[in-house]
A and B are shown apart, each in its own frame.
Chain A
Amino acid sequence: MADTRDIELTVNGESHAANVETRTSLGDFLRHGLGLTGTHMGCEHGVCGACTVMVDGEAVRSCLMLAVQANGQEVTTVEGLAEDDGTLNALQAAFWKHHGLQCGFCTPGMLTSLTAFLRDNPDPSERDVREAISGNICRCTGYQGIVDAALDAAKTMQKGS
């Protein structure tokens, strides 16, 4: 029989209790256990960053973390980024404005990675942003729109705070 455990965790502000197989990754649990399919699996070996979510505020690769390890923790996925009224937040809006996405597959991981990064680095240079997303692969955009979006969002967020 499969080895399972009971876990409890908060995802985008909602608490969930579940019985999960110990080998299930956090990413698979979010996608298939909770139906939060915004988190994408690009490589399942920890390099592409598409699966990035925030666990207790830190950007984490959900393909490399087991669901059981998230027990008792607070997870934020791309579905939890927009403002409470559903409008795009500053970073999402900047991605939209600067054509920071094409196919949209890397986008959730880019947004979550940059959310954590911009919180800790409110006034980054272009080089800083490029280093910050150097663990997120995008095959479509050539990164320029993403970098421009992050820089613009940083400005907007600074004005807002």
Chain B
Amino acid sequence: MAVRYLGAEVQRMEDPRLLTGHGRYVDDITMEGMLHAAFLRAPMAHAKIRSIDASRATALPGVHRVIAHADLGAKYSHRMNQLYPAPVIEQDKTQYPLAKDEVCYVGEAVAVVVADSRAIAEDALALIDVDYEALPAVVNIRTALDDDAPLAHADTTSNLMGKMRSSFGDIEDSFAKADHVFSAAFMQHRGGCHSMETRGVIARDDPWGDGLTLWTSAQSPYLIRRALATWLDESEERVRVIAPDVGGGFGPKAGFYPEEVAISLAARLMKCPVKWIEDRREHFVSTTTQRDQHWDLEVACTAEGKILGLRGKVTHENGAYVPYGILLPNSSLTPLPGAYSIPAIDVSVDIVFTNTVPNSPVRGAGRPCGIYAVERMVQVVSRELGIDPAEVRRRNYVRSDQMPYETGAKLRGGAPCIYDSGDYEALLEKALELSDYSSFKERQAAARAEGRYLGIGVSSCIEDTGMGPYEGTTVRVESSGKVAVRTGAASQGQGHHTMIAMIVAGNLGVKPEDILFESADTAKFSHGIGTIGSRVAANVGPSAHDAAFQVREKALKLAAEVLEASEADLDIEDGVVRVNGAPDLSISLGELAVQLTPMSAMRVPTGFDPVLEATSFDGSSGSPIACGSNVAEVEVDPGTGEVKVLRYSVAHDCGVMINPMVVRGQIVGGVVHGIGNALFERMIYDDQGQPLTMNYGEYLLPLASEMPRVDITHMETPSPLNSLGVKGAGEGGTIPAAAAIVAAIENALTDFGVVIDYYPVDPQMLTELIDAGAAQAAE
């Protein structure tokens, strides 16, 4: 059966609402009797709380209450739950919703003011007197494990949160038989969330009615429901979590935050709805970020550049608490062979505490770091052996005839990491062609003749997408003929409504505009997981496909009885079942739904359940591996260190594309995020743990004026792991970007022998490297 809309550039159904100002984000929601909250946050990175005196704040007109840890009572005095427990976590430190007696990062919530308005609540913050006793803070991951390093938590003896290792193949043998061993050490820094909508929560507690309802700007309402119900020691049935329109997520909105607990408790204490909207300054200090990783690697290779092994050590910054378990370090290790067939790998990670905001995945999670590391080492091999970067890659790719290819690494949960499909070399060739790689040397020489420095950088990646185990969908035909489609997956702009409507409409034979789509409300669909790790298309896609197919089958079976025709002669188009060759014989899906779901004293047709509905949890039977090759062309001004990205070419394969327009949007947005990581985004702390970049003048995000046009070409290698052949597409733009940009900058500055060991690459760093290179050349 043809899925008619699959692959069509359907304009998004969510857009007319958003284009006319009729979105409904958390801060757009108001309710009767609602109060407003503001959080008092720790001003020091590490301190004991000696006392809190809120009397002046409470006396301010319009303030209803100031709540600190001690006001919550014994029932609510425990730390937040660990969402992702793992045996390697040696110190499982989660925070209290409101700090108890110690604060461990600037921005940690200490108290919450509830007032008539947000402005009054913020006024009151200045009137709360907290007596802190400053403690030494640890900030630098390179020295955090030294014997004399300050401790991030007063009650521990080490800043080591845990250790991990990815190891496979015979690493000793690989290094013993190598013609060459090269090493490189580098730091990677990834910034924060910076969704244009900050976080925000409204809680309403109705103990005799609906229970506790939370509207929250989040990616994972079901995870929050479970975590909150567990924390409160209440039934999940009594906790409803709704993610309304969400203005971007990018990972940090996938967690469970102290504010979600504190605002729930505030609503419970105040017996009225309470709203909190994060301001941008708070976003910098209280929304989780990704930040530093230091890598120290060795690569073993043959004289021809065939890589035999990779080994080394990573230090991973965890921040002050462990809200996400080991998700980040783990997703840094998993992609380690990258797009290459590397027989042996042995890399271990020390995960260290610092007195900074807890870390979480940001677009791509650890994948951009793992891929950057592999790509750097490929670059080192290319440079040291004088082989073209594209050619080194050709010599090392996993070949399409090796698929499915088991890398040797393990996914989260211990399953082997298997590349299901793809042709990495063909993809590279497409990227090279798109970028006019073969004529670059001429462009470079012509530019040099004018005194301009151009450089080109290549980077390839794989992306493990579609993490299971499921994300279900219900499809139900209503008596009106409209089709209600519900799923748990929250959208933060990815166009789920359109994508799922296309799949259901095509499969069921209705118009996409007749689909009534609802998602991300735990009261509307039994169970979901969340929108993380490019998993929705490869999980909701198949479940929507299957549920629609089941409803179709049921409709055709009933229609065959009603129309006295053979099922094989029936077809559904625009919501009407027709008999082929007998155009007058027809019945609409709405009428079938009424027949199937009669009111009292009528008969339900024999052999049917009384609803024209189906629910499916069909998903992907493994992790579909998307892949891409990127080519960046830059110009560097050696006088100022300014980097301009002139061209950016992407060849990408995310399997069958449901809506190519949406895929392009994901890739371009992802690439720009990756360029931001490579060149701009830097969250700086001083050595006392004070954040120094707290607004968009100090912390730079990529702007339209600095971004190149991104050229994209696709391959569509269907994934064998799900019914649609799809793979995720949300992060494949970001993952390889930093490696391509950094390689291009080095290429532009070959004359100066510039080697970059840190990103974001800023003009000051570059001019220093250029000056050092020029001085060395002059000697």
Contacts and interface: CB of A to CB of B under 8 A. Distances in A.
Interface in B22-65: 22-25, 27-28, 30
Contact of A144 (B24, B197, B492, B709): B709
A55 B697 CA distance: 25
Contacts of B25: 37, 40, 105
Contacts of B664: 99
A77, A105, A130: residue with the most chain B Cβ atoms closer than 10 Å: A105
Contacts of B20: 38, 78-79, 81-82, 88, 92
B18 interface: yes
B196 A139 contact: yes
Given A38-B20, A102-B669, A105-B196, A140 B493 contact: yes
B11 to A, nearest CB: 5
A103 to B, nearest CB: 3
B768 interface: no
Interface string A48-59: 101000000000
Contacts of A154: none
A143 interface: yes
B405 to A, nearest CB: 31
A112 B668 CA distance: 23
B164 interface: no
A32 B23 CA distance: 15
Interface string B189-206: 000001111100000000
A145 B19 CA distance: 14
B196, B198, B669, B707: residue with the most chain A Cβ atoms closer than 10 Å: B196
A44 B280 contact: yes
Contact of A103 (B21, B22, B493, B697): B493
Interface string B418-459: 000000000000000000000000000000000000000000
A105 B197 contact: yes
Given A38-B23, A99-B664, A143-B672, A137 B701 contact: yes
Contacts of B14: 104
B119 interface: yes
B16 A37 contact: no
B696 interface: yes
A111 B20 CA distance: 10
Nearest to B195: A139
Nearest to A38: B21
23 contacts: A37-B27, A37-B28, A38-B20, A43-B695, A45-B695, A48-B280, A48-B696, A78-B19, A95-B19, A103-B246, A103-B492, A104-B14, A105-B197, A105-B248, A105-B493, A130-B704, A133-B704, A138-B704, A139-B195, A139-B250, A140-B196, A143-B704, A145-B665
Given A47-B695, A141-B668, 18 more contacts: A37-B21, A37-B23, A40-B25, A44-B279, A48-B196, A77-B21, A82-B20, A96-B16, A101-B15, A102-B493, A104-B245, A104-B247, A104-B493, A105-B247, A134-B706, A137-B196, A139-B673, A142-B671
Interface of A: 21, 23-24, 31-32, 36-45, 47-48, 50, 77-79, 81-82, 88, 92, 95-97, 99, 101-108, 111, 126, 129-131, 133-134, 136-147
Interface of B: 11-12, 14-16, 18-25, 27-28, 30, 119, 194-198, 245-248, 250, 279-280, 492-495, 661-662, 664-665, 668-673, 695-697, 701-707, 709-710, 733
A-B pairs with lowest CB-CB distance, top 9: A38-B21, A103-B493, A105-B247, A104-B18, A102-B493, A142-B672, A142-B668, A134-B705, A47-B696
